[in-house]
Structure 1
Amino acid sequence: MAELIVSDNAYPRLLKHIKQEIAEGLDRARKAYDQEKVISYWKIGQSISKHLLENKYRADYGRQLYAKLSRDLDIGERLLYQMSQFYNTYPDLKPSQNLKWSHYRLLTSVKDEEQRNILESKASDDSWSKRALETFIKDDKEKSVTASKPKPQPPKKLSLFKGRLYTYGTFKDACSANLLIDCGFNIYYESDIAKISAKLVETVKTKNSYKLVKSDATTKHLYTYKAYVRKIIDGDTLWVNVDCGFKIWSYQKLRLRGIDTPGISTQKGIEAYKFVCRELKGLPFVILKSHGRDKYDRYLMDIFYLKGEKEPSAVLERGGFLNQRLLDKGLAERE
């Protein structure tokens, strides 16, 4: 057989392309299977539900029907019942390409339609796994149970200390001859200064750059940032992109300090979520003040915001305090 002669680059490109096509084809096949499974289970549930409706006058017929179908189809009674519940929950199904049967099975357990729609939208938009959705629903239920138990109410007013923007701690380390700047979030910036007679510094803009100068701030002023809201998860949890200074950015999931809003699968939780969405809608940025981390390793923050203001220092000085406003509106409780 004559040896196949190809250029040095042509064959590897062909091989890579074919492997990519195979992988993408398998992925499309999996997604198509998941979609067809959802539609098929919905149609089975529709058939069962309509049959039961036509025979509703027959006592105990439903239990007998599920048992007989289970034997004849070799499908568990529980699964057949879940299909029927799926249809009854979504009589006008418009399946999402990002949600599998396992997602819809969990969503049918959420009885409130508005709460369910919000969870469905979030799970679809954020491509949640089945486990992520299950955890979210479980956490919301636990929040609701906890909220229903009477407990002593702490004062409504939160302590407030606003800090200073672009103020940093410095330290020396054997890894570098220059000072290291603590930007927060376990991020350290190596400066071009070997020594400065201050533990705290601030950045001051120059014509083309910035410089570090000694600060009269205290450690309480640290960890105050300009940030951009990227996603609101619920009334007290958000994803933000934080400007740490020095052209450093940190994408963080944060929680509002000192407050607890109900789970988003509750009516109160929906109200808190919508309030935060309204308050932060259209803002170019917010100001954050960090207060350490919670037991889930999320940073605890105060958020300040001011509509129509483009100067960060003005937002910090005169902006509304989101944590406190949620308390004042009765949409959150003190932790």
Structure 2
Amino acid sequence: MALTRRALTRRALTRRALTRRPLAHWALTLPVLSGRARQTLAAGLLVWSCPFVAPASHADELADGNAAFDAGRYGEARQVWSAAARAGNANAAFDLGLLYDLGDGVSPNASTAFRWYRRAAEAGIGAGALNVGVMYDSGRGVRRDRAEAAIWYARAASLGQREAAFNLGQLYETGEGVPHNIAAAVAWYSMAAGAIPEAAAKAAQLAAHQRSEVAGPLVAPKPVWPAGGTAVPVSAAHSVTQLVWTAPAEPFPVTYFVELQAGAHGQFNEVLSRYSTTSATAVTLPGDEDFAWRVYAVAADGSGYAPSAWTHFGVAVTAPGTLPRATPR
């Protein structure tokens, strides 16, 4: 049975089923939930933690917008959320994306929805990053770009979005936008398995028949986010970003080892090192310094490793209460 790519978007726990080929039709369900439930599930259903926490004043703004939405006063909800988003409320930015995506009280506008989703995503809303990935994957509101979709799925998955891990597993399984890599597909399906039965079944099926896809030495992973020279937008209060790399097929099982350094004037010191079974990890950046990172493919049996080149990036820090500006790609 072909699996469809899915997304936690659309009101609360709505699933948009994305057909495998062609990507032209959407299966949409809209459970009836209050604005409060919708806000909690859509923007906050994370397995680990979301780096953005709304201040009390922002929570009041969201409550006012939710109350207006529940009463069917969509124009009022839009005004409240627009003011809150422009004041820096990332959850309000996500809700505006939903309004324009669904056409509640406004004319549906996928391009506007995409821009608000991306603003929310850059501020640390995992569901926003998931929706950005889905829109790149399907070509709704933005030019279709599977490689870009893979990056956003990885960023969302590193923030706990299991649907994004499922979608990325499918991309690695088929080699769309990323290298064809069954081991990487199994890793991402395994991350999604606790929440998505289909992912657990796919992980087990592929692992049972997995074999080396290539011969020769280990191949170095390729860092793709942040790319070299990128100014990563982060909030001064929540300096969290994600490190994402593409994982080529390897001749034998590997894990990944990530190094992050920070410094100035060419003097760098290590601030983070960790292992990862998947091709992305979320990190907290210590201040507004310059950074460099690289990732190794490490043979599971310890017999060798292959490092990527160092990738250098900076940060674009915004004041607390201000949404980061999305970095064009």
Pick the TM interval, shorter chain. Answer: under 0.3
Higher relative contact order (CA 8 A, sep 6+): 2
What TM-score do the two structures reach when normalised by structure 1? Answer: 0.23
Of the two, which has the highest radius of gyration? 1
